[in-house]
Amino acid sequence: MKIQRITFIIGLLFLCSFVHEYYVGIANLRVNYERKQIEMELKLDADDLESVLRKQTPDFNLEKLDENSKVLLKKYINNHFSIWINGQEKSLRLLGEELTDGGEFWTFWTIEIPDNVVSVKIKNTILLPDYLQQQNIVNLKNKGKTLSHTFLYNHNSYIFNLNDAK
Local structure of 64: helix, strand or coil:
helix
List C-alpha distances in Å: 107 to 21, 45, 93, 115.
23, 11, 10, 25
68 within a domain of the structure (yes/no): yes
120 domain residue, yes or no: yes
**pLDDT at residue 19, as a whole number:** 52
Domains contained in the chain, number: 1
Kindly state whether residue 2 falls inside one of the protein's structural domains.
Answer: no
Give pLDDT, residue 2: 58
Residue range(s) defining the domain that contains residue 141: 21-165
**Strand 135-142 relative to strand 24-32, pairing:** parallel
> What is the pTM (predicted TM-score) of this model?
0.84
- Among 127, 133, 125, 132, which Cα is nearest to 158's? 125
Across the chain, which has 166 residues, the per-10-residue mean pLDDT values are 57 49 89 97 97 93 91 96 97 96 96 95 96 95 95 95 73
Is residue 144, in this structure, part of any structural domain at all?
Answer: yes
Query: Of 28, 41, 53, whose CA–CA distance to 127 is shortest?
Result: 53
DSSP 1: -
Q: What is the pLDDT of residue 23?
A: 86
